[in-house]
Amino acid sequence: MGDWPCSKTSERARDPSAAFAVGVPLLAGDAIDDLFAHAQPMSKSGPFALFRQGDWLLGIGRLSALSGIEPAARQLYRELFRATEGRHLARIWNYVPAINQAGPQGLENYRAFCVGRSHAFEQHHGAAFKLLVPAASAVGCTSSALTVVFAACQTRPRHVENPAQVPAYDYPRQYGPRSPSFARATIVPGTAGGTIFISGTAAIRGHATIAPAAIAGQLECTLENLREISTACGLGADFDAAGAASRHFKVYVRHAADQPLVAAILGERLFTAGDRVSYLHADICREPLLVEIEVTLQGVRSA
């Protein structure tokens, strides 16, 4: 991503030259995320450093979460809305410290993050905020800071759901006091081809976790979900594999020892020559989940 610090969010943990480490070590694959390779520094807005590439506004910000994830998430998202005033959110990446551990009030950190994020969305957009939440992911990190990276656009995007899954923002209360605030995918039209962001996708059908603690079964379900959302986005079941779009994949693996098996299966069933792929070591939003995959396509002619 050129000068945009997010180019270092998937750096190797042993690389001391990383400009902006978020605590998500690289296991294999591409070390630099070049989704926005020509982004240039612009300014600051509160805790967010801002960058621009064409019509895209990009930002990365972080706040200490030592006093609790929920207030940090609420404040950071309020600052995000200030930074993106007049634009549409298209994609958000969230890096949550100790994501599956209990926080000061006894609530799991991911669930506390969802409470803070949801309240911030509702305060900013009102009761209908669910219609405006973009594609997103939230994974664990080793940093003590909550970090949020965003991409915002001038063109109104279209948000898409997976028909095989309950929308995350409508999950029942068994998953926490406030549901996660994201869409399964976001499509941004463009004159030179659109951009499609697919949220972090894992082994969840309806709202239930499938094949808990079984990596092969989870991969099978995750691939089915990816085919469903790809079809819902108008790409066919294979993410426009024969098209001209550039395809970027991030694969988050809870246990580093699973990475070779995951890579072998995905290499056979998902990836094609020319794909950009990074395997990252991170905990995932539900403790039984072992793998999560996100996808970004640029230059999609049908978008």
pLDDT tens figures, 171-226: 999 999 999 999 999 999 998 899 999 999 999 999 999 999 899 999 999 999 99
What pLDDT digit, counting tens, does each position of 257-276 carry? 999 999 999 999 999 999 99
Cβ neighbors of 126 (< 8 A, separation 6 or more) are: none
The type of residue at 195 is: T
Q: What's the rounded Cα separation, in Å, for the pair 290 and 66?
A: 26
Distance CA(39)–CA(132), nearest Å, equals: 25
Averaged pLDDT for residues 121-141: 97
Q: Say how far apart CA 113 and CA 257 lie, in whole Å.
A: 28
Percent of the chain with pLDDT over 90: 85
What pLDDT band is residue 2 in, cutting at 50, 70 and 90? Answer: very low
Identify the band that residue 299 occupies on the pLDDT scale cut at 50, 70 and 90: very high
d(CA 157, CA 135): 10
Alpha carbon distance 177, 291 (integer Å):
24
Over the chain, what is the mean pLDDT? 92
Confidence tier at 9 by pLDDT (50, 70, 90): very low
Res 119 pLDDT > 60: yes
Q: Can you tell me the distance from the alpha carbon of 188 to that of 174, in angstroms, rounded to the nearest whole number? A: 33
Residue 22 neighbours by CB under 8 Å, 6+ apart: 9, 62, 95, 141, 143, 147
Catalytic positions? 292
Question: Which pLDDT score, from 0 to 100, does residue 21 have?
Answer: 61
Query: Does position 8 have pLDDT exceeding 60, yes or no?
Result: no
Maximum average pLDDT range among 2-6, 243-247, 289-293: 289-293
| pLDDT single digits (tens) 35-63 | 998 999 999 999 999 999 999 999 999 99
HEC string of 1-31 equals CCCCHHHHCCCCCCCCCCCCCCCCCEEEECC
Residues 80-93, mean pLDDT to the nearest whole number: 98
Strand positions, DSSP E, 126-285: 135-141, 145-153, 158-160, 185-188, 194-201, 204-205, 208-209, 246-253, 276-281
Q: Sheet harboring 145-153: ordered strands across?
A: 40-45, 48-53, 56-64, 145-153, 88-97, 135-141
Question: Where does the pLDDT of residue 104 fall: very low under 50, low under 70, confident under 90, or very high at 90 and above?
Answer: confident
Note whether 246 and 183 are within 8 A (CB).
Answer: no
Residue 19 has pLDDT above 70, yes or no: no
Residue 203 DSSP one-character state:
S
Extract the tokens encoding 224.
């089915």
Residue 29: how many other CB atoms lie within 10 Å: 17
Domain span holding position 275? 5-300
- Contact residues for 63 (Cβ-Cβ < 8 A; gap 6+): 47, 72, 75, 76, 145, 146
Query: For 218-243, what is each residue's pLDDT tens digit?
Result: 999 999 999 999 999 999 999 999 88
What is d(CA 198, CA 264) in angstroms, rounded to the nearest whole number? 22
The percentage of the chain sitting over the pLDDT mark of 70, rounded to a whole number, equals: 93
**pLDDT grade for 303, boundaries at 50, 70 and 90:** confident
What CATH number does residue 42 fall under? 3.30.1330.40
Closest CA to 198 of 293, 59, 262, 273: 293
For position 124, what pLDDT does the model report? 97
Report residue 11's pLDDT band, with 50, 70 and 90 as the boundaries.
very low
Q: Per the structure, how many domains does the chain have?
A: 1
Task: Choose among 251, 253, 218, 225: nearest CA to 239.
Answer: 225
